[in-house]
Amino acid sequence: MSLTTRFAPSPTGYLHVGGARTALYSWLYAQKNGGEFILRIEDTDLERSTQESVDAIMDGMNWLNLSWTKGPYFQTERFDRYKEVIQQLIDSGNAYRCYSTAEEVEAMREEARAKGEKEKYNGMWRDRTDYPEDKPFVIRFKNPLDGSVVINDLVKGDIVISNEELDDLIIARSDGSPTYNLTVVVDDWDMGVTHVVRGDDHVNNTPRQINILKALNAPLPEYAHIPMILGDDGKRLSKRHGAVSVMQYRDDGYLPEALLNYLVRLGWSHGDQEIFSREEMIELFDLTGCNRAPSAFNTDKLIWVNQHYMKSLDPEYVAEHLAWHMKEQGISTESGPALSEIVKVQAERVKTLKEMAQISRYFYQDFTEFDATAAKKHLRPVAEQPLQRVKEKLASISSWQGETIQQAINATAEELELGMGKVGMPLRVAATGAGNSPSLDVTLALLPQEKVLTRIDMALAVIEARKANS
Ligand code: GLU
């Protein structure tokens, strides 16, 4: 039988990094084994599920390039099937009507609490058939009374739960709607899921699901429960810690390759290797290599991985992502240097693509003012002569490129017997509007010669005005 994994999010919000990591591990395991990867939308909570969340989850998966081979399936389209299985469980004596009221169930809990026992439903309707008329009822699963359930968890090792710990859980509410544990079991069974990879917040559900599967004579999948992700304070990762939505990471300027690589390492390792291409991840990933302990999210490390990919992936490819950020920031790149050239010169200098877009504006847009601090420091009367001289030399260049530009700067410094900085810094501020840029020869070569000359004139005008005011 071929291997099948699934990602089964509830569409009650965006795709968060924890979900993305679960999806990644499921996807990797299927890829590695030539199996199927299902996307299943668990939308039975009608009040909290939204189409926007479904879209957001799919956007996140698409952005990370985690493609499903089957689905998406929607649980709300499968209610007839759940009804059928619930009936099957009733018919086979594995489920029953329970007429206990909410107050009665609460009283059972109270009693258990008072005795210091585990709170559970006491099974009072388990063997009764004297059903009252016109009273609401739920359907409960007849959990075995003795013995135990063993989960051979691929991540956590063997987990043994005594059936005494479990009560008869509700599988259909009084309106007939199925509950989470029932729908998951039916779907995993019908969809031929062989490996359930999910967050360990579900580990308490697993023995219940195994018992239902057994009652249905359905094959048992393997389970892999992935420990949760913590924030830097050791608490479960949440909005309080900053971005948790996958698409927020896109907006913040991370490459999908970086987030994926970061997530694969967050909870799994292969020696001390940090960087994994997609192909390597698929080849080397294994559920048994996952950590048993929770992992802490570390933004500095994500930034490091992002920098690695900005520098090492094909600049043409990185440029496609940069283009999105330029657009976000309202910078038209229709004229001006190819974005791949920007990637080549700026990748070393930034943490994210968002930052790269921010500091590359002057390549595409004219400015009307210079950065105040940079101007104050570098556009002073002493800079007038070097700026004028370098402008003359730049103007006479017939072949505008890094080398000829550098020669012009060098010659100016030599002629005026000035250090390079005394020429370079005013020129940098003039050409880019601020005091930071890649090396001048490279920066200027990416700008049209005419534009550089005009900007130097602008800077000279600022110096003039300053002289007049002093
Ligand atoms: N729908 C569940 C959730 O989003 C996951 C169920 C499962 O993986 O079994 O938490």
Please give the distance, rounded to the nearest whole angstrom, from the Cα atom of residue 292 to the centre of ligand 1.
19
Residue 158 near residue 151, CB atoms below 8 Å: yes
Catalytic residue list: 239
Ligand 1 within 6 A of CB of 449? no
Residues making up the chain, counted from first to last: 470
Angle 17-32/256-265 helices, nearest 10 degrees? 80
User: Which is higher by pLDDT, 240 or 452?
Assistant: 452
Average pLDDT over residues 47-51: 96
* Shortest-distance atom of ligand 1 to CA 184: 9
Helix or strand or coil: residue 162? Answer: strand
- pLDDT recorded at residue 1: 62
Q: What is the pLDDT of residues 87-128, one digit of tens each?
A: 999 999 999 999 999 999 999 999 989 999 889 999 999 999
Average pLDDT over residues 38-55: 96
Ligand 1 within 6 A of CB of 182? no
Q: What is the pLDDT of residues 153-167, one digit of tens each?
A: 999 999 999 999 999
Residue nearest to ligand 1 atom 6, measured at CA:
8
* Shortest-distance atom of ligand 1 to CA 42: 1
pLDDT over threshold 70, residue 465:
yes
* Shortest-distance atom of ligand 1 to CA 198: 8
- pLDDT recorded at residue 232: 86
Burial annotation 106-122 (CB, 10 A radius, 16+ → b, else e): eebbeebeeeeeeebbb
Q: How confident is the model at residue 240 (pLDDT cuts 50, 70, 90)?
A: confident
Amino acid 50 reads T
Q: What is the pLDDT of residues 263-316, one digit of tens each?
A: 999 999 999 999 999 999 999 999 989 999 999 999 999 999 999 999 999 999
Rounded CA separation 339/49 (Å): 40
Q: Which of 7, 151, 196, 198 to mutate to test the pocket of ligand 1 (most atoms within 8 A of CB)?
A: 198
Domains of the chain listed by start with CATH number: 4-76+228-303 (3.40.50.620), 78-226 (3.40.50.620), 314-365 (1.10.8.70), 366-470 (1.10.10.350)
Burial annotation 311-344 (CB, 10 A radius, 16+ → b, else e): eebebeebbebbeebbeeeebebeebbebebbbb
- pLDDT recorded at residue 241: 87
- pLDDT recorded at residue 48: 95
- Which tokens in the block code for residue 15? 């795709």
Q: What is the pLDDT of residues 331-344, one digit of tens each?
A: 999 999 999 999 99
pLDDT over threshold 90, residue 80:
yes
Q: How confident is the model at residue 462 (pLDDT cuts 50, 70, 90)?
A: very high
pLDDT over threshold 80, residue 12:
yes
- pLDDT recorded at residue 438: 97
Please give the distance, rounded to the nearest whole angstrom, from the Cα atom of residue 54 to the centre of ligand 1.
14
- pLDDT recorded at residue 265: 97
pLDDT over threshold 70, residue 360:
yes
Average pLDDT over residues 121-142: 96
Strand order in 138-141's β-sheet?
Answer: 95-98, 138-141, 170-172
Please give the distance, rounded to the nearest whole angstrom, from the Cα atom of residue 10 to the centre of ligand 1.
6
Burial classification of residue 410, based on how many CB atoms lie within 10 Å of its CB (0-12 exposed, 13-18 middle, 19 or more buried): middle
Ligand 1 within 6 A of CB of 42? yes
- Which tokens in the block code for residue 428? 């940098």
Please give the distance, rounded to the nearest whole angstrom, from the Cα atom of residue 9 to the centre of ligand 1.
5
Q: What is the pLDDT of residues 222-232, one digit of tens each?
A: 999 999 999 98
Ligand 1 within 6 A of CB of 426? no
Please give the distance, rounded to the nearest whole angstrom, from the Cα atom of residue 201 to the centre of ligand 1.
9
* Shortest-distance atom of ligand 1 to CA 12: 4
Question: From start to end of 237-383, where are the E strands?
Answer: 295-296
- pLDDT recorded at residue 227: 95
Provide the mean pLDDT of the chain: 97
- pLDDT recorded at residue 366: 97
Ligand 1 within 6 A of CB of 202? yes
Q: Which of 5, 7, 10, 53 to mutate to test the pocket of ligand 1 (most atoms within 8 A of CB)?
A: 10
Residue 163 near residue 149, CB atoms below 8 Å: yes
Q: How confident is the model at residue 239 (pLDDT cuts 50, 70, 90)?
A: confident
Rounded CA separation 217/85 (Å): 12
* Shortest-distance atom of ligand 1 to CA 209: 9
